Structure 1
Amino acid sequence: MINEAIQASNNLIKAVPLLGGSRSKSDYEQALELVGYLIEHHPAHPLIDMLADKVAKYEENAPEFAAFNARINALPRGVALLRVLMDQHGLNQSSFVNEIGQRSYVNRILKGERKLTDKHKAALAKRFNLPFESFRED
C-alpha cells in the first residue's frame, strides 16, 4: 500500500509538476487550467485544494506577480479584495454603480482618497457572495 501511494503521488507530480514544487510559468498555467476544469466539471474533487494552494504559493513568489502583490499589500484589506475581484472578474470602475456609486467615487476609493462604507461593504459582500467581514479595513 505504501509503495502504491508513493507511486501514485509520483505519477501525479509527473502529470502536474506544480504539485512537486515546479516554478515554471507553463506548469503554473497548466495547473490553473486544470483547476478551472475541475471546478467546472468536478467541483468537489480533492485535487482542487491541493492545486489552489500551489497556485497561491506560485502567485505569492513569482517575479511576474511582484508588482501586483506589492500594490495589493499596500492597500487596506477591503480595497485590496475589491481590486482582486475586479481583476478576477474582468470588471472596471464603472462596474460598481449599484454597490458603490459612480466611476469617479470608485476611483477615489481605489486610490485611497475615500473609504468603503458599511453600505458599500454589505453590497459588495452580497454581489460576490462573501462575508461582510471580508471587506473590513484592518
Structure 2
Amino acid sequence: MNIKPIRSETDYQKSMERLEVIFDAKRGTDEGDELEILAIVIDKYENESFPIGMPDPIAAIHFRMEQMGLKQKDLVNIIGFKSRVSEIMNKKRKLTLEMIRKLNTELNIPTEVLIQNY
C-alpha cells in the first residue's frame, strides 16, 4: 500500500484506476484497508476540486416536495395561504423566518439552504 495525497488531475486518475482494481476488496484485508484510505483521499480531493454549492432555497423546496410526493397545496399548512405559497414558489415573495423554521421542521430542509438569497 503506497497512498499519497492527490495533488493533480494525473494523481486523481491514477487513484481512480487503483480504486477500480481494489473496489471489491474485503474489509480487514490489506486491500480493504487500502480501499478505505484511498476512498477518503479521493473524496477529499473531489470536495476541494469540484465543490458543489448549496441549492437555491426554492429549488430545495421543490426537490423535497418531489421526494415526499407533495403538491403546492400541501405547503399551505407550513407557509400559509394558498396565494402566499404561490408567491413564494414563484419567487415573488421572500421566505420569512417563521416559514424557514417550519420548512426546516416539517420538510427537514437545512436552514443553511433556506436562508440564502435568491
TM (normalized to structure 2)?
0.50
1:91 aligns with 2:70: yes
**Alpha-carbon distance between aligned partners in 2 of 1:117 and 1:104, rounded to the nearest angstrom:** 15
Q: Cα 1:7–1:78, aligned 2, differ >3 Å: closer, same or farther?
A: closer
**Alpha-carbon distance between aligned partners in 2 of 1:85 and 1:125, rounded to the nearest angstrom:** 11
Q: Cα 1:7–1:126, aligned 2, differ >3 Å: closer, same or farther?
A: same
Between the aligned residues of both structures, percent identity stands at 29
- Greater RCO, CA 8 A, separation 6+: 2
TM (normalized to structure 1)?
0.44
Contact 1:121 1:135 in 2 (8 A): yes
Unaligned runs of 5+ in 2: 3-18, 26-38, 47-51
Contact 1:125 1:134 in 2 (8 A): no
Q: Cα 1:105–1:132, aligned 2, differ >3 Å: closer, same or farther?
A: same
1:121 aligns with 2:103: no
- How much does 1:114 deviate? 1.2
Contact 1:94 1:102 in 2 (8 A): no
1:134 aligns with 2:113: yes
Unaligned runs of 5+ in 1: 13-45, 54-59, 61-72
Aligned counterpart for 1:82 among listed residues 61, 77, 88: 61
**Alpha-carbon distance between aligned partners in 2 of 1:126 and 1:101, rounded to the nearest angstrom:** 15
Q: How many residues are matched?
A: 78
After the TM superposition, list the runs of 4 or more consecutive aligned residues in structure 1 that deviate by more than 4 angstroms: none
Larger Rg belongs to: 2
Contact 1:125 1:132 in 2 (8 A): yes
